[in-house]
Amino acid sequence: MSETVDCVVIGAGVVGLAAARALAQAGQEVLILEAADAIGTGVSSRNSEVIHAGMYYAAGSLKAELCVRGNQLLRDYLPSHGVPHHFTGKLIVATSEEEEAQLDAILSKGEMNGVDGLVRITGEQAMAMEPELRCRAALLSPNTGIMDTHGYMLSLLGEAEKHGAMLALNSPVLSGETGPDGVTLQVGGAEPMSITAKRLVISAGLGAQTLGHAIQGLKAVPPFHLCKGNYFLLSGRQPFKRLVYPTPVAAGLGVHYTLDLAGQGRFGPDVEWIEAEDYVVNPARGDVFYDAIRRYWPGLADGALRPGYAGIRPKIQGPKDAAVDFVIQGQDQHGQPGLVALYGIESPGLTSSLAIAETVAEMLA
């Protein structure tokens, strides 16, 4: 079979679904192609479900701009669409003089990025808010929270379908070829077919670069690295009502404390560079969590952590490279009109999803 479609979105994760919704609302005929048998089974299903505020990222970067904008959009979208969420607030804590200087740098970035409500507080103030905490100083971010990611994705899909979008599961894109009329995709599955998309969005998470290389004529596909993050669940009474983060480390935000909407606490993710997809959590990796956590929560009991789950960050940079921004490519970068390619959409991709979707829709208007 061979079909021509106005717009194809490859990938039914949170960003792909948000993009499909925005494009469908703009009046485009949208087909979502998903290789798996359900939506959101990749990067979108294995994260902290945190709504970030945007204070960590370089001023003027896509991560900064889209995270701050995305946070604002989510504050309206989640309650108005009945998606479970809770703005718990977050404390970023310093336990040494050196880390206090890092707080100053984070606060400065947050102010430049336009983060709402971010303030520096004393250690005494932070410990009064969270009695189990030990720190010298902290930043308080009131607009950080947690959300039901799957509920959010179902809402995005429902709105996309309400405006005419269609979802095809078990439909892996095997290859493609650019041309004057769009991109012709070879789609596998139970009923293989050829689809020519006048407009195309590549939002394939861990598979984005593989897909970019599989489409003949597409240029400027960035490098790809797998960076695993392991989470450990906390047994017993939960120590904090808010999210608690240490100062950041290379390639991540440090071993931090988050909650899910059921009140289960967890620590992670750590940073583990890997060569192939692997979601097994090695219990031994939890051994190094204890010292890191006890810097700000000395009351952590021995044996209180148990393996939880793991996610994988789709990194563009390698373990020894400087952090890299989101890559949102249009024709100027890859050479094909009517195509937007998304690469390296790691954290804060969930928070940024509605803002990324706005950007994609503007590029394909």
Condensed to tens digits (0 to 9), the pLDDT of residues 89-98 reads: 999 999 999 9
Q: What would the mean pLDDT of 26-55 be, rounded to a whole number?
A: 97
Q: What would the mean pLDDT of 182-210 be, rounded to a whole number?
A: 97
Residue 254's pLDDT is 81
Condensed to tens digits (0 to 9), the pLDDT of residues 342-364 reads: 999 999 999 999 999 999 999 99
Residue type, 157: L
With 70 as the cut, is the pLDDT of residue 187 above it?
yes
Co-location of 238 and 302 in the same domain: yes
* Residue 12 pLDDT level (bands cut at 50, 70, 90): very high
Co-location of 143 and 291 in the same domain: yes
Co-location of 61 and 132 in the same domain: yes
Co-location of 70 and 105 in the same domain: yes
Beta strands in 188-323 (DSSP E): 193-202, 215-216, 225-234, 243-245, 256-259, 265-268, 272-274, 305-315
Number of domains in the chain: 2
Co-location of 264 and 299 in the same domain: yes
* Residue 251 pLDDT level (bands cut at 50, 70, 90): low
Co-location of 172 and 142 in the same domain: no
CATH number at residue 38: 3.50.50.60
Go through the chain and tell me how many residues it has: 365
Co-location of 12 and 133 in the same domain: no
Question: Phi first, then psi: what are they for 174, rounded to 5°?
Answer: -90, -35
With 90 as the cut, is the pLDDT of residue 248 above it?
no
Q: Which residue has the higher pLDDT, 254 or 341?
A: 341
Share of the chain above pLDDT 90, in %: 96
Q: What would the mean pLDDT of 228-248 be, rounded to a whole number?
A: 95
3-class SS letters over 115-154: CCCCEEEEHHHHHHHCCCCCCCEEEEECCCEEECHHHHHH
Q: What would the mean pLDDT of 179-185 be, rounded to a whole number?
A: 94
Q: In 3D, which of 180, 176, 173 has the Cα closest to residue 336?
A: 180
Co-location of 141 and 21 in the same domain: no
With 80 as the cut, is the pLDDT of residue 3 above it?
yes
Beta pairing partners, 175: 186
How far apart (Å, rounded) are the C-alpha atoms in residues 88 and 53? 12
Condensed to tens digits (0 to 9), the pLDDT of residues 46-92 reads: 999 999 999 999 999 999 999 999 999 999 999 999 999 999 999 99
Co-location of 253 and 275 in the same domain: yes
Is the distance from CB of 14 to CB of 153 less than 8 angstroms?
Answer: yes
With 70 as the cut, is the pLDDT of residue 280 above it?
yes
**Please, which residues have CB within 8 angstroms of residue 31's CB and are 6 or more apart in sequence?**
5, 7, 8, 9, 165, 166, 168, 195, 197
Co-location of 27 and 56 in the same domain: no
How far apart (Å, rounded) are the C-alpha atoms in residues 297 and 303? 15
Q: What would the mean pLDDT of 316-336 be, rounded to a whole number?
A: 95
**Given the DSSP bridges, would you call strands 2-10 and 225-234 parallel, antiparallel or unpaired?**
unpaired
CATH number at residue 249: 3.30.9.10
* DSSP conformational letter for 328: E
- Round the average pLDDT of the chain to a whole number and report it: 96
Co-location of 215 and 350 in the same domain: yes
Domain, as residue range, for 271:
50-147+225-315
Condensed to tens digits (0 to 9), the pLDDT of residues 263-278 reads: 999 999 999 999 999 9
With 90 as the cut, is the pLDDT of residue 252 above it?
no
Residue 256's pLDDT is 94
Q: What would the mean pLDDT of 149-165 be, rounded to a whole number?
A: 98
How far apart (Å, rounded) are the C-alpha atoms in residues 46 and 350? 11
Q: What would the mean pLDDT of 219-246 be, rounded to a whole number?
A: 96
150, burial (CB in 10 Å: exposed 0-12, middle 13-18, buried 19+): middle
Co-location of 241 and 136 in the same domain: yes
